[in-house]
């Protein structure tokens, strides 16, 4: 279990007193960009624009700025490429969307569906989400299934958002896809790499499509998407589960890529695992100090993995505790009935905020809770603060 952090009454008052400033900082990240008239939520912390991998931030933003949460969904739908690929990034100052990698682990369909329900969108908006997500699924089947396994393949470091992690760089894997097009696979002997987290995202996308089909009164389509999701779930277990280690790994032309990184949480995020399997893996790896149960969880790599980067450099998914991982954990901890763990995780972040006032950065030292880097007002971190106030 994550240690339960206690706060004195004075500490609680101090944290609560900062709420207006934190909320204003989050809303300050809601801005107009060149590609769309309606404002959208930016990543903050010096990141120029809006990223698809941050779309789940809008699930939380909807409480404070519902129109902006929805307009962020509109932006990705409006910029979907003709072949079905979603843009991973749009900048502030010009309209050119970027398609050099996938950089998506929480399904667009799930996020857009939940935001649409929360903001009471018209039925035509749900049909649009359905069409966009179905085309995205077709794109993944066509361009990220070269080996023909039915799993989704990783072609570059940024595909999964694991910047500077050996899991997605070893073997000469490039940062983005050739010619800045996610459809292009690098010419490397180890390619293609069967991906745990991208396959999990695709599974989650199909489950969301089934639910949207139900919502739209399309039972045959709902059955179709659930069947496709179940087949993918079986393939994930067949090809990516290593019984010897009791872990899920990516697979390249040489076999398992044995990196114990937080990519396992993407299976949790998309509810690929049964409650029983989740409980076993969570206890084994996320409640163990030899792996992901550090003083300020969860580090990007198990601390006992030889690939763990003990230097803790800036923007490193090879070691650091990432706010983005923790924000997503709020979703999957609740799904798997770990509400107490969710509360405890938030209270660890509140301890960091108390000891380092005003430093709403992207990542932490997993052992001390000290913020790393100098970027300010990172949207996931600001959201963690606001969520943490609810459990003080």
pLDDT for residue 346: 98
Q: Give the whole-angstrom CA distance, residue 92 versus residue 90.
A: 7
Angle between helices 339-355 and 9-17 (to 10 degrees): 80
Q: pTM of this prediction?
A: 0.97
Q: What is the CATH number of domain 9-389?
A: 1.50.10.10
DSSP H helices in the chain: 9-17, 19-28, 57-61, 66-78, 108-118, 123-143, 196-215, 219-240, 264-269, 275-281, 323-335, 339-355, 379-389
**Would strands 89-90 and 50-51 be described as parallel, antiparallel, or unpaired?**
antiparallel
pLDDT for residue 3: 87
* 1 pLDDT above the threshold of 90: no
For residues 98, 102, 104 and 107, what is the CA-based torsion angle, rounded to 10 degrees? Answer: 100
What pLDDT digit, counting tens, does each position of 132-163 carry? 999 999 999 999 999 999 999 999 999 999 99
Query: Where residue 384 falls among pLDDT bands split at 50, 70, 90?
Result: very high
pLDDT for residue 46: 87
What pLDDT digit, counting tens, does each position of 5-39 carry? 999 999 999 999 999 999 999 999 999 999 999 99
**How many CA atoms are closer than 13 Å to the CA of 298, on its beta-carbon side?**
27
What pLDDT digit, counting tens, does each position of 315-367 carry? 999 999 999 999 999 999 999 999 999 999 999 999 999 999 998 999 999 99
pLDDT for residue 122: 98
- Supply 274's token pair: 């049964």
- Supply 60's token pair: 């939380």
∠ CA 191-192-194, nearest 5°, is: 130
Average pLDDT over residues 242-264: 98
Q: Give the whole-angstrom CA distance, residue 109 versus residue 41.
A: 18
| Mean per-residue pLDDT over the chain, rounded | 97
pLDDT for residue 171: 96
pLDDT for residue 68: 98
Percent of the chain, pLDDT > 70? 100
pLDDT for residue 127: 98
Task: Give the other-Cβ count within 10 Å of 179's Cβ.
Answer: 8
pLDDT for residue 245: 97
């Amino acid at each position: 279990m994550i240690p339960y952090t206690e706060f004195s009454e004075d500490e609680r008052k101090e944290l609560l007193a900062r709420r207006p400033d934190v909320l204003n900082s989050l809303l300050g990240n809601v801005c107009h960009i060149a590609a769309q008239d309606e404002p959208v939520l930016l990543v903050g912390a010096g990141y120029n624009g809006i990223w698809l991998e941050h779309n789940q931030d809008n699930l939380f933003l909807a409480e404070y700025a519902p129109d902006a949460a929805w307009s962020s969904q509109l932006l990705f739908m409006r910029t979907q490429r003709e072949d079905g690929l979603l843009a991973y990034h749009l900048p502030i100052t010009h309209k050119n969307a970027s398609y050099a990698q996938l950089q998506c682990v929480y399904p667009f369909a799930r996020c857009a569906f939940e935001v649409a329900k929360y903001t009471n969108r018209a039925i035509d908006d749900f049909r649009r989400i359905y069409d966009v997500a179905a085309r995205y699924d077709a794109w993944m089947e066509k361009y990220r299934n070269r080996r023909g396994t039915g799993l989704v393949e990783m072609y570059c470091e940024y595909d999964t958002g694991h910047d500077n992690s050996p899991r997605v760089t070893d073997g000469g894997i490039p940062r983005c896809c050739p010619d800045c097009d996610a459809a292009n696979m690098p010419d490397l002997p180890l390619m293609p790499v069967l991906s745990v987290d991208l396959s999990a995202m695709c599974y989650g996308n199909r489950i969301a499509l089934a639910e949207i089909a139900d919502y739209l009164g399309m039972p045959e389509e709902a059955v179709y998407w659930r069947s496709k999701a179940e087949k993918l779930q079986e393939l994930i277990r067949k090809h990516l589960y290593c019984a010897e280690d009791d872990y899920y790994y990516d697979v390249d032309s040489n076999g398992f890529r044995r990196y114990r990184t937080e990519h396992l949480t993407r299976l949790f995020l998309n509810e690929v695992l049964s409650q029983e399997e989740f409980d076993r893996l969570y206890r084994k790896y996320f409640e163990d100090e030899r792996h992901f149960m550090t003083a300020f969880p969860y580090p990007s790599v198990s601390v006992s993995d030889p690939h763990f980067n003990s230097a803790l450099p800036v923007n490193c998914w090879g070691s650091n505790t990432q706010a983005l991982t923790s924000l997503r954990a709020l979703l999957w901890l609740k799904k798997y009935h770990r509400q107490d763990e969710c509360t405890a995780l938030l209270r660890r972040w509140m301890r960091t905020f108390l000891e380092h006032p005003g430093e709403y950065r992207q990542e932490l030292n997993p052992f001390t809770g000290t913020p790393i880097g100098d970027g300010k007002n990172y949207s996931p971190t600001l959201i963690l603060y606001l969520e943490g106030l609810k459990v003080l």
